[in-house]
A and B are shown apart, each in its own frame.
Chain A
Amino acid sequence: MRPFSYQRATDPDMAVQALSADAAVDNPLTRATVQPLAGGTTLIDLMKLDVMRPAAIVDINPLAEGWSAIDPGRENLRLGALAKMSDVAAQGEVQRNYPVIANSLKLAASAQLRNMATLGGNVMQRTRCPYFRDVSYENCNKRNPGSGCAAMDGVNRMHAVLGVSDQCIATYPGDFAQALIALDATVEITGRSGTRSMPFAQLHKAPGSTPETETALRSGELISAFVVPGRWPRSVYLKARDRQSYEFALSSAAVALDVQHGAIKDARVALGGVATVPWRSREAEALLKGQTFDDGLAERAAEAAFADAKGRQYNNFKIALGKRVVARALHRAVTMEI
């Protein structure tokens, strides 16, 4: 861990000003010399590994008073970015009206980490690619742009099959983001020029030729809230993994359905553990909309979701697994009691 200066932000203005000091730095994630500290479960972890080397840390936890509300309104659900994962997972209305959100949070990490981690930090968590996390591997395009990718022909069982490029196959490891992207959430971003909003789907950037750029956040910007439109009581988060708990997904599906009179009026499908970014499958959704559910439909939708998947030596199984997980999640969503 490199030395850093530490300061606590007392208000958002102070935070963004402190964070803007490295505005000239092109990549806010890997190279930023100032980093916000919320739960710390990613930042301190990666600083100990020498992967992240901020020279200054701005502790934004004091902003929690204004930025951690869980606000289930009539039209939408507003979640403050500094709300703790555990608090949101336990909130009654979130559990009732957005089970996909509650369960994506509950099935992530451990009770201790969920007590620490915030929603904003959670969506910003970095990949678990072992070659990214170990600085002794020079070949990591995400960490050292242009250096190559050690995972491509290495131990890549946990790696992505969707959204991959010839530069990077690192999996986006989170769960909650799948729920957000499925439900068409908006992310509120606070920066020097005030607050802006963007669709959550635009927050993360697929690796393409610049895997070092992971999000659309600009230097000095902070996520302040997420807004989820509507209510989705018929929604499911299904997560497949080797271990029963406290493990990242091999494959997961966030599914939300609006079923009326036996027909699927609206359908949302997002995939985790298999893609480089939070992954929404509009192909699967298109197949489902307006149809009457049966297992064959679920399988066709799952097939569509993985039509463009590219497996490698050890992760090829994720394509078949991912399809089965999607189909099963759809089945669960259709049959769940609400």
Chain B
Amino acid sequence: MNAAAPEPKANMGQPVPRYDAVAKVAGRATYGSDMPLDNPAYAFLVTSAIARGRINGFDLDDAKRVRGVIDIITHENAPDLKESKLFSNGGYAGTTIQPLKSADIAHDGEIVAVVIAESYEAAREAANRVKVSYTAATPSASFDSPGTTKAAAKGQNAQFKEDPQVGDFAKAFDEAEVKVDAAYETPTQHHNPMELFSTSCVWMGDDLVIYEPSQYVYGLKNGVAEQLGIDADKVRVVNPYVGGGFGSRGSMTPRTAIIAGIAKRLNRPIKLVPTRDQGFTIATYRAETRHAIKLGANRDGKLVALRHEGVEVSSRADPYCVGGTKTTTRLYACPNVDSLVSIVRADRNTPGFMRSPPEVPYMFALESAMDELAVKLDMDPIELRRVNDTTNEPIGGKPYTSRSLMGCFDEAAKAFGWSQRSAAPKSMSDGDWLIGYGCAATCYPTQMAPSAARVRLQRDGRTRVEIAGHEIGTGAYTVIAQTAAERLGVPLEQVAVFIGDSDLPPGPVAGGSNSTASTCSAVMMVCDQIRQRMFKAMMPRQSLTDKAKETVGIGRTPTMQAAKSDRTLDLERAFDALGVGVIEEYGEWKPEGAPPDSFKAMHSGHARLVGGAAMKDKIAYAFGAEFVEVRVNRFTHEIRAPRLVGAFAAGRIMNPRTARSQLMGGLIWGMSSALLEATEIDQRTARYVNDNLADYLVPVSADVPGVEVILLSEQDDHINPAGAKGLGELANVGTNAAICNAIYHATGQRIRKLPVRLENIEV
């Protein structure tokens, strides 16, 4: 065992190496643009240089003269595509702004032409030679631009259902002994997964195969079929490996149907590998947000009033919002709560899900304000959380299915050495560096979605699991294989997993951190169907004892632990009794509380996530506590975060190795969000300026000297059969506030706007 493979504690699986490890280190893992195509033509996009206005016309003469150019597609000759509704309003699309439909331009970098050529080099040259003439109108870039509109989120976004409220906030705040009233801001950020937003489309007769990095192959398949006006069964999306997602590939972007339509017309496979900068505008992003937080507390630290107002930017076309008040109004015990989320519409591409979409901005505001309150109370920030810890959320009084928040704080504080902290700001230093310690709570809703699975067992124990899940780096192959091996009692090496293909049984979107809970619950259920068949065949006349019910999964869906108690099923005997060569079972699992149309929606590529704060009589979240040491250089004011420590509890940990890695990456993401990442917008033109990996800063190895992840043992039997809470989006939430809280401790300066840059420090 090494640090990468922590010793499993109670209710944790084995830290086995990744199923896909050899393929990935050998360069044999095939990502979308790695798929070999027969005689492909290459596409290169031309994108808009204005954010608002109209195209007057094109001069394509120079471009067409480039040797090897096959076709140039503009709105004047584009394939006819049907519209798709927004993902969060019941459709598939990440945006309803459909390029190449008309001469209108709705945002910077909108696709205005697609060049198809015999080679990548010719396509790029011709794209460079396409001349577009525009009539530009003055765009509204962001919050403070003239021409924006602002309205409450409720009523315009189907997924934003409520502005949580309880008690009488105004009165309680007015009468509170200690108050915090502060405003916070978070920036525009782009996912920047390492793999570009590539798409390859291959038609075989009327059948279309799409190779594209996607976090939802069923959504993409159905969405593209809808846009093309063809039967969804004619479309297949294949992506066994995805080079990072972080939310950017959860919903359909316009490029896919466009490329598919052109490929059909030209009767030729087409390969599109957009540039890094094009990825900033042809996909989604995390929009900038503003927050006003009011906290009122008694002298003993108990919260009596909490108000969280959030404002988010979206496009003119779409009412996208993340609405994190559903979390921040329920995290702490507080009798009087008020909240409001509004959307500001600007001339921008439509934002979308980015790792912990609601929690990153909203928890930054709340957990910063909590630290400010602790300072006002002269109270240890951990103790402030302890005083306000609760078993039931305050809005509806529903119980948390499990909540290890304070356990996480205590474990992380110990590992971090919080007791060494001298509480006064500016009281710790080391040579040129001022040192600050900070902490914050982190949490993420436990969500599940319907999922199907097919499992085939051979008498030699070889097992094949099929599910249209997604390997975006989370370890999906690995935990699915582990679940099947454990459930069927076959060696892990005997299990083959097939995911990332929409011809497989439908799986959920790899979003909202639901994948492991959903797919593993489905795999468990189907494995139990196999065990049940075998059991019945071997003991046809025997009535089922309670013990047998538990071990073969009849009567109720047992937990993983129960399955462990019986793994001695004799396969040879069972196959002889059944008289078959192969046992294959298909099943569809849905979480408790899933709507009646869940399975229908699952097959048609509509994600129906349930869980979190939206459950009927309970509330389910994973929790953690995050501690950081920041160092601020006295002279240059450079800010570094040499130590990040997080403790997390997320129900059953399927594989401590992959879990640790994901949480580690999350901690670093949070640091990055707090100190490095911001998409700069030219306020005059509403265009993204730093749209590349040299100017949009993400951390490099030198930025992260020390990261420690502590996994707490937690059992929760009230969430899903797998007992797992999602953790992919858990760790990058609290770090944002923890960094600012540590900067306050280092410098005495409270910074409420991210990212914190050296020019914001006044030592």
Q: How far is the CA of A190 from the CA of B465 in the complex (A)?
A: 67
Asked whether, in the complex, the Cβ of B638 is within 8 Å of the Cβ of A240, the reply is yes
Chain B 128-161 near chain A by CB (<8 Å), digits 1 or 0: 1000000000000000000000000000000000
With A1-B128, A136-B49, A245-B700 in contact, do A128 and B694 touch (Cβ < 8 Å)? yes
With A243-B703, A245-B700 in contact, do A128 and B636 touch (Cβ < 8 Å)? no
For the complex formed, measure the closest distance between the CB of A111 and the CB atoms of chain B, giving whole angstroms. 11
Tell whether B76 is near chain A: CB-to-CB under 8 Å.
Answer: no
Chain A 116-135 near chain B by CB (<8 Å), digits 1 or 0: 00000000000010110011
Which stretch in A8-16, A94-102, A323-331 binds the other chain? A323-331
Question: How many A residues touch the partner, as a band?
Answer: 35 or more
Within 8 A of B (CB), among A291-338: 317, 321, 324-325, 327-328
Asked whether, in the complex, the Cβ of B676 is within 8 Å of the Cβ of A50, the reply is no
Tell whether A2 is near chain B: CB-to-CB under 8 Å.
Answer: yes
* A244 CB contact (under 8 Å) in B121, B702, B757: B702
Tell whether A3 is near chain B: CB-to-CB under 8 Å.
Answer: yes
Question: What residue in chain B is nearest A53 (Cβ atoms)?
Answer: B128
* B636 CB contact (under 8 Å) in A1, A136, A240, A247: A240
Tell whether B643 is near chain A: CB-to-CB under 8 Å.
Answer: no
Asked whether, in the complex, the Cβ of B690 is within 8 Å of the Cβ of A130, the reply is yes
Within 8 A of B (CB), among A241-284: 241-248, 250-251
Residue in B640, B695, B702 with the greatest tally of chain A CB atoms within 10 Å: B695
With A155-B680, A328-B636 in contact, do A128 and B695 touch (Cβ < 8 Å)? yes
Q: How far is the CA of A1 from the CA of B127 in the complex (A)?
A: 10
Asked whether, in the complex, the Cβ of B684 is within 8 Å of the Cβ of A153, the reply is yes
Q: How far is the CA of A324 from the CA of B695 in the complex (A)?
A: 24
Asked whether, in the complex, the Cβ of B682 is within 8 Å of the Cβ of A155, the reply is yes
For the complex formed, measure the closest distance between the CB of B685 and the CB atoms of chain A, giving whole angstroms. 8
Tell whether B22 is near chain A: CB-to-CB under 8 Å.
Answer: no
For the complex formed, measure the closest distance between the CB of A154 and the CB atoms of chain B, giving whole angstroms. 5
Instruction: Report chain B residues within 8 Å CB of A250.
Output: 758
Tell whether A157 is near chain B: CB-to-CB under 8 Å.
Answer: yes
Chain A 128-160 near chain B by CB (<8 Å), digits 1 or 0: 101100111100000000000010011101100
* B695 CB contact (under 8 Å) in A130, A154, A321: A130
Q: How far is the CA of A3 from the CA of B680 in the complex (A)?
A: 33
For the complex formed, measure the closest distance between the CB of A130 and the CB atoms of chain B, giving whole angstroms. 5
Q: How far is the CA of A321 from the CA of B697 in the complex (A)?
A: 20
With A128-B694, A242-B697 in contact, do A154 and B689 touch (Cβ < 8 Å)? yes
Asked whether, in the complex, the Cβ of A2 is within 8 Å of the Cβ of B697, the reply is no
Q: How far is the CA of A50 from the CA of B44 in the complex (A)?
A: 14
For the complex formed, measure the closest distance between the CB of B437 and the CB atoms of chain A, giving whole angstroms. 20
Question: How many B residues touch the partner, as a band?
Answer: 20 to 34
Tell whether B206 is near chain A: CB-to-CB under 8 Å.
Answer: no
Q: How far is the CA of A66 from the CA of B293 in the complex (A)?
A: 67
Asked whether, in the complex, the Cβ of A3 is within 8 Å of the Cβ of B125, the reply is yes
Instruction: Report chain A residues within 8 Å CB of B682.
Output: 150, 154-155
Instruction: Report chain B residues within 8 Å CB of A131.
Output: 689
Instruction: Report chain B residues within 8 Å CB of A2.
Output: 125, 128
For the complex formed, measure the closest distance between the CB of B69 and the CB atoms of chain A, giving whole angstroms. 13
For the complex formed, measure the closest distance between the CB of A246 and the CB atoms of chain B, giving whole angstroms. 5
Asked whether, in the complex, the Cβ of B676 is within 8 Å of the Cβ of A321, the reply is no
Instruction: Report chain A residues within 8 Å CB of B38.
Output: none
Q: How far is the CA of A324 from the CA of B637 in the complex (A)?
A: 9
With A136-B49, A328-B635 in contact, do A245 and B128 touch (Cβ < 8 Å)? no
Asked whether, in the complex, the Cβ of A317 is within 8 Å of the Cβ of B636, the reply is no
Instruction: Report chain A residues within 8 Å CB of B257.
Output: none
Instruction: Report chain A residues within 8 Å CB of B636.
Output: 238, 240, 251, 321, 324-325, 328
Chain A 152-183 near chain B by CB (<8 Å), digits 1 or 0: 01110110000000000000000000000000
Q: How far is the CA of A130 from the CA of B701 in the complex (A)?
A: 25
Asked whether, in the complex, the Cβ of B703 is within 8 Å of the Cβ of A50, the reply is no
Instruction: Report chain A residues within 8 Å CB of B124.
Output: 1, 48
Within 8 A of A (CB), among B680-730: 680-682, 684, 689-690, 694-695, 697, 699-703
For the complex formed, measure the closest distance between the CB of B82 and the CB atoms of chain A, giving whole angstroms. 30
Chain B 417-453 near chain A by CB (<8 Å), digits 1 or 0: 0000000000000001000000000000000000000
Tell whether B675 is near chain A: CB-to-CB under 8 Å.
Answer: yes
Question: What residue in chain B is nearest A136 (Cβ atoms)?
Answer: B49
With A242-B675, A244-B703 in contact, do A327 and B695 touch (Cβ < 8 Å)? no
Q: How far is the CA of A150 from the CA of B687 in the complex (A)?
A: 12
Asked whether, in the complex, the Cβ of A245 is within 8 Å of the Cβ of B703, the reply is yes
Instruction: Report chain A residues within 8 Å CB of B49.
Output: 136-137
Tell whether B759 is near chain A: CB-to-CB under 8 Å.
Answer: yes
Within 8 A of B (CB), among A31-72: 48, 50
Question: What residue in chain B is nearest A245 (Cβ atoms)?
Answer: B702
Q: How far is the CA of A1 from the CA of B128 in the complex (A)?
A: 8
* B684 CB contact (under 8 Å) in A134, A154, A242: A154
Asked whether, in the complex, the Cβ of A246 is within 8 Å of the Cβ of B676, the reply is no
Q: How far is the CA of A325 from the CA of B637 in the complex (A)?
A: 10
Q: How far is the CA of A321 from the CA of B695 in the complex (A)?
A: 20
For the complex formed, measure the closest distance between the CB of B574 and the CB atoms of chain A, giving whole angstroms. 56
For the complex formed, measure the closest distance between the CB of B703 and the CB atoms of chain A, giving whole angstroms. 5
With A130-B689, A130-B695 in contact, do A321 and B700 touch (Cβ < 8 Å)? no
Within 8 A of A (CB), among B628-666: 633, 635-638, 640
Question: What residue in chain B is nearest A110 (Cβ atoms)?
Answer: B700
Asked whether, in the complex, the Cβ of A243 is within 8 Å of the Cβ of B695, the reply is no
Asked whether, in the complex, the Cβ of A243 is within 8 Å of the Cβ of B635, the reply is no
For the complex formed, measure the closest distance between the CB of B680 and the CB atoms of chain A, giving whole angstroms. 5
For the complex formed, measure the closest distance between the CB of B233 and the CB atoms of chain A, giving whole angstroms. 40
Question: What residue in chain B is nearest A109 (Cβ atoms)?
Answer: B694
For the complex formed, measure the closest distance between the CB of B278 and the CB atoms of chain A, giving whole angstroms. 12
For the complex formed, measure the closest distance between the CB of A138 and the CB atoms of chain B, giving whole angstroms. 8
Instruction: Report chain A residues within 8 Å CB of B640.
Output: 244
Asked whether, in the complex, the Cβ of A155 is within 8 Å of the Cβ of B690, the reply is yes
Asked whether, in the complex, the Cβ of A155 is within 8 Å of the Cβ of B125, the reply is no
Q: How far is the CA of A127 from the CA of B65 in the complex (A)?
A: 32
Asked whether, in the complex, the Cβ of A243 is within 8 Å of the Cβ of B699, the reply is yes
With A154-B682, A243-B703, A244-B702 in contact, do A50 and B635 touch (Cβ < 8 Å)? no
For the complex formed, measure the closest distance between the CB of A330 and the CB atoms of chain B, giving whole angstroms. 11
Q: How far is the CA of A237 from the CA of B124 in the complex (A)?
A: 40
* B635 CB contact (under 8 Å) in A130, A157, A325: A325
Instruction: Report chain A residues within 8 Å CB of B128.
Output: 1-2, 50, 135
Asked whether, in the complex, the Cβ of A1 is within 8 Å of the Cβ of B121, the reply is yes
* B758 CB contact (under 8 Å) in A136, A245, A321, A327: A321
For the complex formed, measure the closest distance between the CB of A315 and the CB atoms of chain B, giving whole angstroms. 9
Instruction: Report chain B residues within 8 Å CB of A155.
Output: 680-682, 689-690
Asked whether, in the complex, the Cβ of B699 is within 8 Å of the Cβ of A327, the reply is no
For the complex formed, measure the closest distance between the CB of A336 and the CB atoms of chain B, giving whole angstroms. 14
Within 8 A of A (CB), among B344-394: none
Asked whether, in the complex, the Cβ of A317 is within 8 Å of the Cβ of B759, the reply is yes
Q: How far is the CA of A122 from the CA of B432 in the complex (A)?
A: 31
Question: What residue in chain A is nearest B672 (Cβ atoms)?
Answer: A243
Instruction: Report chain B residues within 8 Å CB of A240.
Output: 633, 636, 638, 758
Instruction: Report chain B residues within 8 Å CB of A245.
Output: 700-703
Instruction: Report chain B residues within 8 Å CB of A150.
Output: 682
Question: What residue in chain A is nearest B763 (Cβ atoms)?
Answer: A324
Instruction: Report chain B residues within 8 Å CB of A134.
Output: 277
Q: How far is the CA of A249 from the CA of B128 in the complex (A)?
A: 31
Instruction: Report chain B residues within 8 Å CB of A327.
Output: 635
Asked whether, in the complex, the Cβ of B680 is within 8 Å of the Cβ of A243, the reply is no
With A2-B125, A154-B689 in contact, do A244 and B697 touch (Cβ < 8 Å)? no
Q: How far is the CA of A245 from the CA of B633 in the complex (A)?
A: 16
Q: How far is the CA of A158 from the CA of B759 in the complex (A)?
A: 12
Residue in B49, B757, B758 with the greatest tally of chain A CB atoms within 10 Å: B758
New A-B contacts (16) at CB < 8 Å, excluding given A134-B277, A248-B694 = A1-B121, A1-B124, A1-B128, A2-B125, A50-B128, A130-B690, A155-B680, A157-B680, A158-B695, A242-B697, A243-B676, A243-B699, A244-B700, A246-B700, A321-B637, A325-B635
A-B contact pairs, 7 of them (CB 8 A): A1-B124, A128-B694, A136-B49, A155-B690, A244-B700, A246-B702, A328-B635
Q: Report the 3 A-B pairs with minimum CB-CB distance, sorted nearest first.
A: A317-B759, A136-B49, A245-B702
